[in-house]
Structure 1
């Protein structure tokens, strides 16, 4: 999955940067009171900021979320945190504002990692995204990860603009973890699909036979009151597709056990969750349970082009949170619903574990796709968001955020026709193209409103506690969030210049403070021609002051 951000990474000589920082008091020589060494400059070429947002309203999540990483690039030590430290297998981080920064030095051998975030104790279902080196570009990239909250089930179901159906209930485990008979089904609703037509979301159902013993991931039997949620995601709604864990260009484990990269063409997906009173997930069952996910009757086999019919099978995949991979599970049976539904079949399969479940054809045949954004006025470089959705019957999704280029190259593109929609930072549609093939190239003509631009310049320094002594520039991450889009990146000199902001825009400035491992935020109104903010962290350990503490692993 490729996410392109609006700031181009400026190439700097590392030795020169470190030297300039040391000259500002970093080494403590020449009578400087500073003891703390300068911050390490992050030179990894792939830089990401992961934004965890509420799927209901798109706002950053301010509850504490636990962040974990998995994948080959984690095992080989290729991924770094915001302090330039290697992220290791088993490391756990916390974010209290929905933002997490990381960088990668891909080595050319199975370059892939997955980031997962959630907090079941707070009701946030776990989800994440898989990052492939071959589908990334060097520079700054913003990746949005949408999470559902159990407490929002009724509001999610009631939202007619959101292609997600959700239902919550409860049950009680008997001694030894035995469950009563349980059947829980989401309610269907109609939303507007990618072609701007009304379409059914469909339903998803979990059926647990009486006496089934449920256990957590460590084989501890379930006990007490259990919360159950079923979430059904439409395969035709952009907001639902954007919540898809792992991405549509995954590194997937096939039926023969091998792992390869390719594309998912999806028929829809669902999440089934059971948690105890402490928020611990119930994952295993001693006997199979039945899971059912609706499949639109317009769905096609992408290899043959034939429309799916009752009696066919449809591939079913589960998301392995331990490895961050989608794993082939079975060929589910396609059958008519009872009573017959004009819009949907249902795909039925059995399982002894819970997960995200996905109805997908996995296509290893792909191409390097291209999208040309014809900007009008020509030469305009304002950041734009691009949504790419497979046409009806062959659904696929890819998002590119904060695009400032006109020519986009997309590795691992599926060989299907797509619809492309381009929006500005306020969510206004400024251009679109329908039913075009990425492999032969898509051109989108845009009409951009005339605006006055402003630049936000931020100078970040660190000093002794008096705010003056030993002051020096510090390399760090800086982002401006205008309640819709993050802009910025990593700046090795401590000075960030973020341009193409519409004058008069109000937003939040995010600056990473390495000493307390947290983001410092402040409100800012950006006005033409340039708005300047000076941020100083008075946290240096100096001979004239005491040592400051830190919060390990928090963002």
Structure 2
């Protein structure tokens, strides 16, 4: 929607752009408090202006319909209370609705279409605005004869509702009898962030924040098209599948835990935490995580298991190529890293700049941020690094006019079942260019202009069509393949952009509780070979001392396989590993239910020609490989490489060591590299272990120590330089360190116990040359 960044992974952080010219006030009082008793006569109130509100509506895939533009959607706009309708219209075949004249200020847009859950979009605008929204298809529709007798009614993923006899009435209060239609729609915000009902952004107890959903569901009841409701004093028990089993602060949920319960006001699209209603975690075999939230509710709308996270405002200042602040419409993209290790959320939004300024809500506990702004053929970006994030309130972006091509999606995957082979499948690539003017573009598949039947073809509009028939069989029979998609300028082949499409047969996909299907970048990919050829797959981070749980899926099915045989092996390659991981990782084991037990894995020292101190990742050292097979899918197997990484945070990747930092001066040695004068280096001071969400120090007693290793991985000589670190974390003597080419790696190590769990965390403070420190297993 206008003024709301649209995330690609979860409806997480980028949000409700608090644009000074778009919103009358960001959480403040529009009238300024009434004059303050000055004795002056206040001028008469300015009549409310009328703005033009337009929009684009999409529909999520489901109900037999693909994702795409939502046509024939009824659009109704009402005041902030969601009652009186002030304007209405409908979407065209392209999902667009023309500008509606509505009063400026707060409004509520209601979007409805048969077969979809009604979407409610709160809007605040004092000038012409455009929104975007996505409709969710109804999950399960049940016909319940004799509904007055009550019962339990189940939908997908274990969502269900249990009602007592005689619990429902019509809108005018009459008892309900006969057949009732029940619609149950569970929803994962991580799986489809664009469809988030209402708005996830709110202000609670005077603090701005965002809702982080573990899972939600909509329950609706109707008879002959007339909505029904619970009778006064009646309750019903709902079960909502949890699509995440770890809370935002890193706590792993288990049956019996109490969780927050929220419901959406259908009139306004605003969420409120329920009072007097407790959510309890229960086991749920049909939930993707095996868990659900159960609660007794007194009305029906969207219900949600949610946690409130704080945000803060950051100003974005945009300058044109001459350095002059730009005013007008622009397009903002932002990405935030949530923790060391690269787990990121990102999103985009149309923004309005006044004198070059806009304001955006950003996650208070992020560790860095990257912003880019696009205006026509101009673009620019800025980065706020980890050391500057908490102290930065304004980011300056300077625009330039470099030629550029943007291509989405960057990667795609086509999975072919038998019914797909004759016609093949297609992917539509979207193209955006900057500063190319009218220069023609050329599309290539695996370097062939336009492609060919063996690798697939691509049209001038960017629609890729896979091989078909015998050509597709030839690809799949050799284990599938990845083809490259290139679009380039015919005037300058260096101005280009590439993407890739993987062609593969259905297989078993392994998904972990903590990190889903694993990495999504090139650095997080690995390869393995089997009888069907070479395969590429993501690596998955696992932490020593801390367990994880895995499930296996077939193809794009939405439910895990029930009969799975797990195997864990260690070795250079999946095909040459052995089931017993001793002596490298004694105690690493996978149970029949998919639970991985991780021991305390020591660092492995690679050959001398490398400079890495790693755990089971590369350079000729073993890896952990997880394999899944199922009697339900004979002949298929799933494979995942497990990359053992330092315990950045045993309970959610939100804990880090905070070092004392200062600015380098002429002649002062720098930590990890030759750092120019005026940049940050580690100095004397107090160390701490801090949680980045929320930003609190670890309160358990922490014991500190130093670890010094040479380039070959041996312990440093006793005569080698090292600072002093007391057991309580006081670091001193850093000013006397040798130059960065001393050949030693120096780490600080923190150890503590919390909740009966032993934690160990390391961080490098002195590295080797410009390569800085290498990863060290804690």
User: TM-score scaled by structure 1?
Assistant: 0.49
